[in-house]
Amino acid sequence: MSTIRLTMSQALVKFLQAQYHEVDGKEIPLFAGMFAIFGHGNVAGIGEALHAVRNEFPTYRAHNEQGMALAATAFAKQNRRTQILACTTSIGPGAMNMLTAAGVAHVNRLPLLLLPGDTFSTRTPDPVLQQVEDSANPGVTVNDCFRPVSRYFDRIHRPEQLITSLPAAMRVLTDPVDCGPATIALPQDIQAEAYDYPENFFRKRVHRLRRPQADMDQLSEALAVLRSARKPMIIAGGGVHYAGAVDTLRAFVEKHHIPVAESQAGKGVLPWDHPQLLGSIGVTGTSAANHAAQEADVVLAIGTRLQDFTTGSRTVFGNPDVCIIGLNVAAFDAYKHESLPLVADAKTTLGVISQKLGDWQSEGAWQDSVAGWIADWIRVSDAILAAPTSHYLPTDANVIGAVWRNLEPASTVVCAAGGLPGELHKLWRPHDSQGYHLEYGFSCMGYEIAGALGAKMATPDREVVVMVGDGSYLMLNSEIATSVMLGYKLIIVVLDNRGYACINRLQQVCGGAPFNNLLEDCLTVEGGAPKTDFAAHARAMGAASEQVTTIAELEQAMARAKASPITYVIAIDTDAQPSTEEGGHWWDVAVPEVSVREQVRTAYTGYKTQKTKQPY
């Protein structure tokens, strides 16, 4: 057996370079490079290995470990899990900064390879800088925090462990069911240790998407239910995108006339003006989708986790005899909500179902109702998105309308937290399947700008537009500097309503007093919190920027932003109070059972009434 003597770090990087993904018949590198913030615990080992291959395997220097790992997560989401950016950090705080991003990738089932440095395996110099000592368990390090948010976790105590560990990590990263973060903690002494690796370990490996076929019994049961359906609908989730089933779904609904509602992750499966598209469903749903859900007798839920926002905390379906068919590659999801499970790949299975259904279509009367609801919603949302005629403080919806009107079809909007995700879910109108990029599994503040960087790296030819609240911007904005440095141009629209407006609204719906959300309701020095100059802040990081006050000014600024070769930030003051009232659905947020506040007691009475609508 011929061998090659390499450090563990050199072997790791060489292995990553030998991984390929077959996508649409073409082989592309599985790893597009690595984000790295060096420090104690990775600069000497991994740092040296990355430098040696810097011309063929790019290393990207970010500004915040959470930011870079969020960018890597978004990169994988935007390219539909076909390519990955790995992330390496130093030990201690550098490693722990990636924890939140691991949670994001875990919830959203996105491939993310995390390579945090770790303390010495030999322990000879212990305790080292940044080592959290566990007095009872010397084997525990901060990297153990990654276990619950990783789909694969390992710590490399011997260089030869890579030979079994890395292929196992690749399985998780490329598997449609187990997909999520793989964390491989790398003690710094082992990173630098050499070993005679078999050459064969570095052979080219081509990964392909596994497409499990449906079980025959599950398939026949699902077909029987579908054929008996009078008022069927589909809920499309992110799995439709990840299975590459967008075209198949479109052909399916055009043939069988089944309307489609979308979860946050599913939005974009059909262009916004498709005649079968009901739009968003659930808490942030359109009136069309939620009407359909109230009446549907069969719901084909495809590639969705059926989280509470999608199902209105299990109350969006109004028909007591509704049957949900859970078409999902993950049995875990397919069996949720007492669904009839159909555990299989979405693309293949939709094709099979369509063939077996022949020319079966949903009932004409149902199709007519659906068409009416869709037309109503388009009329209503046209009015909401239209340019305002008076000069009041703009709303989120006004800004969304202006941004959308001024973009080319090949644009992607990115968002994650605040009031905007709900507004975008209802109102954004994607022209194609990559037009809408929402992280709403974790709804992680700070994902917006970092995630947009990752999305832009995945699809550099698209205009990537971030819509971000003042709260999320202030939480994590440092990857603006990375976007400028790397030449990945973003358009960032900051909606400054001076605080956590959506939580302020939620607080009051629950009977709470306005408290600690809007800056005016927070403890501050005399005179209140300072007004943040977002345009100046972004300029300080090298972006171009401007502040606008009206929607008309925003529309003009969008033209300058599109023409800008560098990241362009537009800040606009918005009204913290209104959100789109049309559409929407109840959401289960626990209200205090006893309180000195009358408003809370009233809210609790309403809450108890709503709770009775849940099945159990």
Ligand X SMILES: Cc1ncc(C[n+]2csc(CCOP(=O)(O)OP(=O)(O)O)c2C)c(N)n1
- What is the binding site for ligand X (CB under 6 A)? 417-420, 443-446, 469-472, 497, 500-503
159 versus 578: smaller Cβ distance to Mg ion: 578
Among 154, 189, 448, 470, the residue binding Mg ion under the rule CB under 5 A is 470
19 versus 66: smaller Cβ distance to ligand X: 66
Q: Which does 248 bind (CB under 5 to 8 A by kind): ligand X, Mg ion, none?
A: none
> Which tokens in the block code for residue 434?
């990559």
Q: Which residues, in sequence order, are CB contacts of 503 under 8 Å at separation 6+?
A: 517
Q: Which does 445 bind (CB under 5 to 8 A by kind): Mg ion, ligand X, none?
A: ligand X
Q: If you write DSSP's letter for every residue of 575-600 in order, what string do you get?
A: -SS----SS------PPPSS-S-HHH
Residue in this structure with the two tokens 């020319």, named with its chain if needed:
359
Q: How far is the CB of 345 from ligand X (least distance, A)?
A: 32
Q: How far is the CB of 497 from ligand X (least distance, A)?
A: 5
- Interacting span for Mg ion (CB under 5 A) from 8-16, 423-431, 476-484, 497-505: 497-505
Q: How far is the CB of 518 from ligand X (least distance, A)?
A: 8
Binding letters toward Mg ion, positions 524-543, x by CB under 5 A: --------------------
Q: Which does 573 bind (CB under 5 to 8 A by kind): Mg ion, ligand X, none?
A: none
Neighbours of 485 (CB within 10 A): 16
Among 42, 100, 497, 504, the residue binding Mg ion under the rule CB under 5 A is 497
Among 33, 117, 471, 511, the residue binding Mg ion under the rule CB under 5 A is 471
Q: How far is the CB of 502 from Mg ion (least distance, A)?
A: 8
7 versus 443: smaller Cβ distance to ligand X: 443
Total number of residues that touch Mg ion (CB under 5 A): 5
**What are the distances in angstroms from CA 587 to CA 262, 460, 494, 590, 606?**
17, 37, 27, 9, 12
Q: Which does 569 bind (CB under 5 to 8 A by kind): ligand X, Mg ion, none?
A: none
Q: How far is the CB of 15 from ligand X (least distance, A)?
A: 33
Q: Which does 163 bind (CB under 5 to 8 A by kind): Mg ion, ligand X, none?
A: none
188 versus 507: smaller Cβ distance to ligand X: 507
Percent helix, strand, coil in the chain (nearest 5)? 40, 20, 40
Peptide bond into 232 cis (omega under 30): no
Residue 201 DSSP one-character state? G
CA dihedral 333, 339, 345, 348 (to 10 degrees): -160
Q: How far is the CB of 240 from ligand X (least distance, A)?
A: 25
Please measure the distance between the N-terminal and C-terminal CA atoms of the chain and give it in whole angstroms: 62
Q: If you write DSSP's letter for every residue of 279-305 in order, what string do you get?
A: EE-GGG--HHHHHHHHH-SEEEEES--
Question: Among candidates 341, 378, 402, which has minimal Cα distance to 214?
Answer: 341
475 versus 486: smaller Cβ distance to Mg ion: 475
Q: Which does 466 bind (CB under 5 to 8 A by kind): Mg ion, ligand X, none?
A: none
The answer to whether residue 469 forms part of the interface with Mg ion (CB under 5 A) is yes
Helix ranges, 327-395 (H): 331-334, 346-357, 364-385
> Which tokens in the block code for residue 327?
């078409």
Helix 364-385 to helix 396-405 angle (10° resolution) is 100
43 versus 445: smaller Cβ distance to ligand X: 445
The answer to whether residue 349 forms part of the interface with Mg ion (CB under 5 A) is no
277 versus 519: smaller Cβ distance to ligand X: 519
Q: How far apart are CA 558 and CA 560, in angstroms?
A: 5
443 versus 545: smaller Cβ distance to ligand X: 443
62 versus 572: smaller Cβ distance to Mg ion: 572
Q: How far is the CB of 420 from ligand X (least distance, A)?
A: 6
374 versus 501: smaller Cβ distance to ligand X: 501
Q: How far apart are CA 318 and CA 316, in angstroms?
A: 6
Q: Which does 191 bind (CB under 5 to 8 A by kind): Mg ion, ligand X, none?
A: none
**Amino acid letter at 157?**
H
Q: How far is the CB of 77 from ligand X (least distance, A)?
A: 17
b/e burial code for range 349-388 (CB count within 10 A of at least 16 → b)? bbeebbeebeeeebeeebbebbeebbeebbebbeebbeee
Question: Are 393 and 263 contacting, i.e. CB atoms less than 8 angstroms apart?
Answer: no
The answer to whether residue 145 forms part of the interface with Mg ion (CB under 5 A) is no
Among 49, 450, 501, 548, the residue binding Mg ion under the rule CB under 5 A is 501
By CB under 5 A, name the binding residues for Mg ion: 469-471, 497, 501
